[in-house]
Amino acid sequence: MNERQLIEVIEPVLARHELELDALDIIPVGKRVLLRVTVDGDGPEGHGPLIDDIAAASRDLSDALDDSEGVGSGAYTLEVSSRGVSRPLTLPRHWRRNIGHLVRITTTTGETFEARIVATDEDGADLLIEPEDPRPGKGVATPRRCAYADITKARVLVEMKRQDKEED
């Protein structure tokens, strides 16, 4: 399989669905090859693609890859998914699409903290560092600006029940 040829087939198909190629993994699995295509995009609300968008793109990708020489003559399995929360935030668009989410950040100085993304631009993110005790009235969130160049690692944290979203 030719990765460059595969990307030349995949990117235009994704673009028609308003999606972007985030990662392409070509994994040998016995006599088959697993093509793992990870996609991203703004989606209708600016926070990532919907499952229906990914499903439609997956069908079109399958057809395009079947007609492509980039796949070769061997058998393959196509897996198309979104970035999900487990992938690191590495580009400004990843940060923008996660406004409102809680993230764990490690800086170039080794500092690690949790903060909520409030706003972003091309250079960095405006954050609210969560108080030690997140219960209402038990602490105050601290605003902080963090340049992307000062961040070595950032991941979205899964929140089962956000404190500020609780109903009275």
Domain boundaries defined on the chain = 3-82, 92-158
pLDDT band at 161 (very low <50, low <70, confident <90, very high): low
- Top CATH class of 3-82 equals alpha beta
**What mean pLDDT is predicted for residues 117-136?**
88
pTM: predicted TM-score of the whole model, two decimal places: 0.73
Per-residue model confidence as pLDDT tens digits over 22-34: 999 999 998 899 9
Domains 3-82 and 92-158 share a fold: no
Asked if the model's pLDDT at residue 41 lies above 50, the reply is yes
Three-state SS letters, 19-76: CEEEEEEEEEECCEEEEEEEEECCCCCCCCCCHHHHHHHHHHHHHHHHCCCCCCCCCE
* pLDDT of 40 higher than 80: yes
Q: What is the pLDDT of residue 158?
A: 87
Domain range 92-158, CATH architecture: Roll (2.30)
